[in-house]
Structure formats: structure tokens, C-alpha cells
Amino acid sequence: MRARWEGVHAALVRSVTTLQADRQFRDARGAEAILGRFESPAGLIEYLTGKAGSLDEKDAIYAALVRTVQARAAWGELAKAILWCGLWPALDGIYRHRLRHFKDDPDELVEAISVAFSTLVGRMELGRVNRVAATLVRSTDRDVMEERRQEWGVQEHHAEPSEEDAKRAEPRTPPRRESELGLPVGLSVDGELGALRGWLLPIGGADTDLLLAVLVLDENQREAADRLGLTHEAARKRFQRALDRVRARLAEALSQSAAETRVSGGARARKPGGAQR
């Protein structure tokens, strides 16, 4: 089932480990100073996928690679392959997580991820993005599922319902509304991150950025601690305390929402204008 997906990865790895790729990369390092200390594409990918290193520097490298692809530079295809390989662990996570929605045709998922990721790389507005890697991954996942939901809608539309089904048919997708966190719909990935930070700030306080780093930006606690100037032990304790406060607030919000639903449901059950007997 994974054969084609793994074949994509194998082809990417081959493309960045050729003598031509090494020559292109050496020539390109002068155009992007941040790449200067890396001897080869393979060395750069090892750094991007490894646990060590600065996440800020890695994100700056991803931005440089995106710029190269968008500029249609001579080594643009190599830059795109490095982007794929650097983010492969996260993209593979999307594949594994979404495969159940493509059980009848897993190759369609491969195509969906490829199209979504390549499109996002080509159109990303770097000046409006805070975290390039996180935005590419989360947006790829979002676009894959949005496309899938549209396909489901088309399939339902073209199916011939029976007369009985038509009488009983109800909308399958409820209207989108604000979340229990108060986050409005229709935000970009960066917009969602900013809105989520605004919601968390009164609860997480000084630990808000630590929560976002671990829960949203896929950093582990040690990486987040290093970046935020904390010891690992301090970060671990502060993260757990802040997470407990967030869970308590979510439980309160969900409980309140359930109570409001019960009240509104009871009101709809009464006869309009009728007195209760």
C-alpha cells in the first residue's frame, strides 16, 4: 500500500545524492549565505531532519529554499527536492494519518500530497509567514483534506437517491462556526496561530510560547527550552503546569457549551406561543 509513497522518497533521495546535485549545491551556496557551511545536499538534509540545531536557523533555511524555487533558479528543482526530504518525516505523518480516507486508492493520497505541497511552495508569501516549515506541513494537510471533502460532496451530488432517501435527506455537514476557543473560521495558518496565542495568553501567561512550541510547532520540550533560554527540567515543569491550566479551561468551556445546547434544545421543544401545562 505504501509502495508508491516510499518510491517517491527513494527517488527524492537519489536526486539529491548525485554528482550533479553536489555541483549545483556548491555553486548555489554563494547565493544563500545561510547554506554556506553545508558541503552537500545530503549534509543539509541530515541537519534539517536531525534533533540538533537551531529551529530558527532551520526555518531560515526553509525560507531560502522556498525563495529559490519561486525564483526559478538554476538549482530550483534541487531546492524543491531538499524541501521534500527535509520535511519528509512530517509529510510521512500526514500520509499515515490520512490514509484511512483513501483506502480505496492510496495512490490518490500520494498525488494529493504532492500537488498540495508543490502548490504551497510555489505560492507562499514568505513575508507573511512566521514559521515556514510548520505552515507548509499544516497547510498541506488542510488542503489535502479540503480537496477530499469536495470530492465526497461531488460523489454524493451525482449519486441517484431513492425517493425515500430524498425525503429523509438532511445536510451532512453542519455550518462552520467559531470553535469553543473563540477562534473565527477562515483563518490562514499564521492567523490561526496568532489567534490561538491570543486565546492562550491569559491562561498560559509567560509559558504561552512554550505551550505553542510543543503543542503546535512540533518542538520537543528540550528544543523549546533551549530556544527560550530555559533548562530542560524547568521547561518540563512549567509546560505541565500550563497544560493543566489549559485543560481545566477547555473542560469549563465545553461544559458551558453543553449546558447552552441543552437549554436551547429545550426551548425549541416547546410549542411556539403555547403555555406549559
pTM above 0.85, yes or no: no
The CATH architecture to which 189-266 belongs is: Orthogonal Bundle (1.10)
DSSP string computed for the chain: --HHHHHHHHHHHHHTSSHHHHHHHHHHTTT-GGGTT--SHHHHHHHHHSS-S-HHHHHHHHHHHHHHHHTT-TTHHHHHHHHHHHTHHHHHHHHHHHGGGGTT-HHHHHHHHHHHHHHHHHH--GGG-S-HHHHHHHHHHHHHHHHHHHHHHHHHHHS---HHHHHH---SSPPP---TT-PPTT--HHHHHHHHHHHHHHHHGGGHHHHHHHHTS---HHHHHHHHT--HHHHHHHHHHHHHHHHHHHHHHHHHHHHHHHHHHHHHHSPTTPPP-
The pLDDT tens digits for 205-263 are 888 888 887 877 667 788 778 777 888 899 899 989 988 988 888 888 777 767 766 66
Cα-Cα-Cα-Cα dihedral sign, residues 189, 223, 118, 141: negative
CA 253/CA 181 separation, integer angstroms = 8
Name 130's Cβ contacts closer than 8 Å, sequence gap at least 6. Answer: 190, 193
Q: Determine the residue type at 105.
A: D
CA 81/CA 79 separation, integer angstroms = 5
Residue extents of the structural domains in the chain: 3-148, 189-266
Question: Of the given ranges (34-48, 78-92, 133-147, 192-206), which has the lowest mean pLDDT?
Answer: 192-206
The pLDDT tens digits for 180-208 are 444 444 444 555 667 777 878 888 888 88
| pLDDT for res 261 | 66
